[in-house]
Amino acid sequence: MKRTGLYFFTIFFLVITILEGKAQDIHFSQYSNTPLLINPALAGEFKGNGRFMLNYRNQWRGVTNNPYKTYAFAFDRSFLKEKLSAGITAYRDQAGDANMGITQVNLMVATKVSVGRNDYLKLGINGAWSQQSIQISKLTWNSQFDGQIINQNISSGESFYDNSFNYVDISTGLLWSHLYHNESSLNIGLSAFHVSRPYYEFFSLTERLKIRWCGNLDLTIPWPEKQITIYPSFLIMVQGPNREVNIGGTVRYKFDVGSRYTGYYKASYGYLGAYYRYGDAIIVYARINYKNQFNLGISYDINISNLAAAPFAGGGLEISLFYLIPEKALIELK
């Protein structure tokens, strides 16, 4: 009986989350691997001539056959000796039997100016097109029970209906970076998404999207041992009454991979990290970087919220795959 009660509590909680969270933005636990969704000023912030990123997140598989699934793609690069950057992102988020989801495409540009020998500022602007939808027709109701099974040919008698809408949006962000003499660095960013406050409509209820404020702080700290680098990180996001706070870090270990025939070696890296999302989850993270080009990251959210008491309320699996185009690759193509 206790397990049954916890199960129905879990279902009830998820339904409320879907209905109340329809205007909230998506999020990834590997936020360092989705920088363009954190701040448009982070476009082009890497060493190389281009960056492709793929991300996938799957959550609540133990609760429903149609768990929360999020797919994202991004590409960005810098131009004019890093004074100008541009990027594009596209993602699809879908959850539940009613396929409630959002599809969004973002285009962004950012410009960098030096404000000192070791400091620079970047300003980024993002334009987006979004479509949100829900398919109520895919749900089943007790009123469709024919005495043996749920028969979808029987009218449910419900007044809800499939719904979708589109809107365009504008976001912006600032980034300040400081480089230290020992190869350490500090990045502090502040961004505001939905500054245009677009309207959205679900079930004839018209509202405006709330601004999502993001603040991020990232450090790069080389250890005295040249093989090790530490990356502490902090992220806070606030959107209306909703708040998310992440704190943690990653340790990178450098090792060389090369050819015994050519004698040419290029550094590769392994990463291990852990993050705490306040009141919600502990995130464990691992990543491999092969020759500073191919990257594969895997993380898992260990649920520590009140919902963890439910028997099927597991965490979330997340996978990231990205590729850095080295500078020489584009030079050879010209």
pLDDT at 326 over 80: yes
**2-333 CATH:** 2.40.160.40
The predicted-structure confidence for 45-83, as pLDDT tens digits, reads as follows 988 889 999 999 987 665 566 678 899 999 999 998 888
pLDDT of residue 156: 65
The predicted-structure confidence for 264-296, as pLDDT tens digits, reads as follows 567 889 999 999 999 888 999 999 998 888 999
CB count, 10 Å around CB of 113?
10
Neighbouring residues of 34: CB distance < 8 A, sequence distance ≥ 6? 28, 53, 55, 72, 74, 320
The predicted-structure confidence for 105-148, as pLDDT tens digits, reads as follows 999 999 999 988 889 999 999 999 998 877 776 666 667 666 77
The amino acid that residue 248 corresponds to is G
Q: What are phi and psi of 331, to 5 degrees?
A: -65, -40
Q: Which of 4-8, 91-95, 137-141, 205-209 has the lowest mean pLDDT?
A: 4-8
What residues does each domain of the chain span?
A: 2-333
The separation between CA 204 and the C-alpha centre of its own chain, rounded to angstroms, equals: 30
> Can you list the alpha helix ranges (DSSP code H) found in the chain?
2-20, 327-333
pLDDT at 312 over 80: no
Neighbouring residues of 273: CB distance < 8 A, sequence distance ≥ 6? 231, 248, 249, 250, 251, 284, 285, 286, 287
**34 confidence band (pLDDT: 50, 70, 90):** very high
* String of DSSP letters for 217-257: EEEEEE-SSTTEEEEEEEEEEEETTEEEEEEEEEEEEEEEE
pLDDT at 21 over 60: no
pLDDT of residue 13: 41
pLDDT of residue 259: 53
If one compares 308 and 119, the residue with the highest pLDDT of the two is: 119
Element (H, E) at 321: strand 316-324
Output the pTM of the full model: 0.79
C-alpha 286/C-alpha 274 separation (Å) is: 9
The predicted-structure confidence for 211-266, as pLDDT tens digits, reads as follows 999 999 999 999 877 789 999 999 999 998 889 999 999 999 988 655 555 555 67
Q: What are phi and psi of 321, to 5 degrees?
A: -140, 125
Q: What are phi and psi of 159, to 5 degrees?
A: -95, -5
pLDDT of residue 80: 87
Residue 145 gets which letter from DSSP?
A: B
